[in-house]
Amino acid sequence: MTDRTNKPTSAFWIISAVALLWNIFGVVAYLGQAYMTEEVLAALPEADQAYYNNVPAWVTGAFAIAVFAGVFACIGLLMRKKWATTLFIVSLIAVIAQFIYNFFIQTHMEVTGISMIWSIVIIVISLFLVWFSRKSEKQGWIL
């Protein structure tokens, strides 16, 4: 049984704050993609233009859910709320859905090099945040 009065460690606060910044950057990336102007789109390579012009609504929705659920989950961590774990799981599921499309369904762009590494980093961070929030629950840091 855990002691419900456990105070979080400094590492908890640092990880939670850095995770919030990470997810805010995700929101900025989402907004940049969702509200991309015709001029910006026209400046992209042809393959990128084809990709962005053909992204299904469900993939854009998954992107939005992933980043906004992540932001609210981080806010929940900082507020020491147990529901943060649920939101991190929702975010992870949305990340996985988005990357299934990018890796296995879409045919407009080849996924190689840095985009492959970046995708793996995002998935690993999402998995880490689910694990971290569950650990925080067990430690009694979030209630």
For 44-64, the pLDDT digits (tens) are 988 888 888 899 999 999 999
How many Å separate Cα 111 from the centre of its chain?
A: 19
Ramachandran region of residue 110, left (φ > 0), alpha (ψ -120 to 50) or beta?
Answer: beta
Q: What is the pLDDT of residue 51?
A: 85
Q: How far apart are CA 82 and CA 51, in angstroms?
A: 38
Provide block-wise average pLDDT over 10 residues at a time, the chain (143 residues).
72 98 98 94 89 92 98 98 98 96 80 83 97 97 95
Question: pTM score > 0.85 for this model?
Answer: yes
How would you label 60-97 residue by residue, b for 16+ Cβ within 10 Å and e otherwise?
Answer: eebbbbbbbbbbbbbebbbebbeebbebbbbbbbbbeb
3-state class of 9 per DSSP? Answer: coil
Half-sphere exposure for 31 (CA within 13 Å, toward CB): 7
Q: What is the residue extent of each domain of the chain? A: 10-139
